[in-house]
Amino acid sequence: MSDVVWAAPRPLAQSKPVEEWDEDTLVLGIETSCDETSASVVRGGRQILSNVIASQVELHGEYGGIVPEIAARAHVESLTPVIREALLQADVTFWDLDAVAATLGPGLIGSLLIGVAEAKAMAAVLDVPFVGVNHLEAHIYSNLLSDAEARFPAAVLLISGGHTLLVHAHEHGNYELLGGTIDDAAGEAFDKVARFLGLDYPGGPEIDRLSLLGNPAAVDFPRAMLREPGFDVSYSGLKTAVINYVRKCESAGGEISVQDIAASFQQAVVDIQVLKTMSAVTHVAAERLFLCGGVAANSALRKGLEEACAAAGVTFTVPPLDLCTDNAAMVAACGTAMLRRGFYTSLDAAPDPNLPLAAS
């Protein structure tokens, strides 16, 4: 369990009563959980006035993955200019803000600390509430931001570099975990397979791009746990199967088509995830499915779930690409929904690298 302290609502000098967190509420969101430095101003929890993202991809690219120390240092350098740019683009000043929300976890502790420290300092100086947001819950809110009709209850597939979860979102702040990966997250598998194939970091978009040129039926990679009951998935074996296949081809002196391998790997992920997700949707009799997280940017997964939902009469929502990967607009939107429920966070609260979804 998390040791995060959730402060009971109490009036601050300039904060509004809970019932006044309305469509004019301006919340600054800050996201620094991993390798994107982002700040955003969102009005009323739904209208994005700015969403500035400084990517660190080039810094980590030469290492083939995120280096936590480099990520934290880059956040220190980028965060203040990114916040300034977010306010400029939104055409608001610090003094217009009603609250400051920042990702409290899960994520890399060094990275989380930068955003949380800056958010707390700003909230204290401006005398407005600080809201510590769960990064996973924030991803769910990217669906509410991108589709005015989207609402709870909904089944959610949250699929990213750090997590792969199937969730039944009953209402704001009430999430039931239905299943998830028992080993690697889907995005982690994309990145590791891409690295093995010599592709650039992050590997997910590269595999997506190459797959368009390949044959998804070229190699029949295993689909683990497909016939097992429940909604858990496993990607570690699939990743190993790709590696073993390439090594076997190489030692036999055969030709390897990176495009075919990428397409076949991606098809296996899509088959697994579409089947498990639609089983979960049926199990909870969900009328809506939200797809979110970085891997939600994958074109084949978007198409696969869109078609499956259309066939099942389920309303499907997926954010545009820039709201799938890490961004601060989803943090501001989630923070606003927390404020509406009377939650904000003590300035004593510490970032939690393992913050579970249920704690939010």
Name the one residue in this structure whose structure tokens are 């989380």: 112
CB of 297 to ligand KG4, least distance (A): 4
Q: Which is nearer to ligand KG4, 40 or 160 (CB)?
A: 160
With binding defined as CB under 6 A, does residue 34 bind ligand KG4? yes
> Considering the complex, what minimum distance in angstroms separates the CB of residue 305 from Zn ion?
18
Stretch that binds ligand KG4, among 57-65, 142-150, 276-284, 289-297 (CB under 6 A): 289-297
From candidates 103, 142, 273, 298, binder to ligand KG4 by CB under 6 A: 298
Interatomic CA distance for residues 82 and 60, integer angstroms:
19
Of 82-90, 120-128, 156-164, 312-320: span binding ligand KG4 (CB under 6 A): 156-164
The answer to whether the peptide bond before residue 229 is cis (omega within 30 degrees of 0) is no
Part in contact with Zn ion (CB under 5 A); list of ranges 98-106, 206-214, 281-289, 318-326: 318-326
Angstrom distance (rounded) from CA 108 to CA 206: 24
Distance CA 172, CA 305 (A): 24
> If phi over 0 gives left and psi between -120 and 50 gives alpha, with beta otherwise, what is residue 71?
alpha
Nearest in space to 168 (alpha carbons), one of 66, 285, 303: 285
Please identify, using beta-carbon distances, which residue of 160 and 181 lies nearer to Zn ion.
160
Q: Which of 45, 105, 180, 204 binds ligand KG4 (CB under 6 A)?
A: 204
From the list 42, 129, 98, 79, the residue with the least C-alpha distance to 333 is: 42
User: How many CA atoms lie within 13 Å of 84's alpha carbon, on the beta-carbon side?
Assistant: 5
160 touches Zn ion (CB under 5 A) = yes
Q: Is 190 an interacting residue with respect to ligand KG4 (CB under 6 A)?
A: yes
Instruction: Check binding of 164 to Zn ion (CB under 5 A).
Output: no
Q: Which of 295, 356, 266 is nearest to 160 (CA)?
A: 295
Contact of residue 203 among ligand KG4, Zn ion, none (CB under 5-8 Å per partner type):
ligand KG4
Among 15, 38, 160, 273, binds ligand KG4 (CB under 6 A): 160
Please report whether residue 326 would count as binding Zn ion according to CB under 5 A: yes
64, 115, 203, 319: residue in contact with ligand KG4 (rule CB under 6 A) = 203
Q: Considering only residues 118, 137, 184, 191, which one is a binding residue for ligand KG4 as defined by CB under 6 A?
A: 191
Stretch that binds Zn ion, among 160-168, 193-201, 232-240, 347-355 (CB under 5 A): 160-168
267 binds ligand KG4 (CB under 6 A): no
Give dist(CA 336, CA 328) in Å, integer.
12
Question: Using CB under 6 A, which of the segments 71-79, 146-154, 155-163, 213-221 binds ligand KG4?
Answer: 155-163
* Per CB under 6 A, 29 contacts ligand KG4: no
Residues that bind ligand KG4 in the complex, under the rule CB under 6 A? 34, 160-162, 187, 190-191, 202-205, 208, 293-295, 297-298, 325-326
Residues that bind Zn ion in the complex, under the rule CB under 5 A? 160, 326
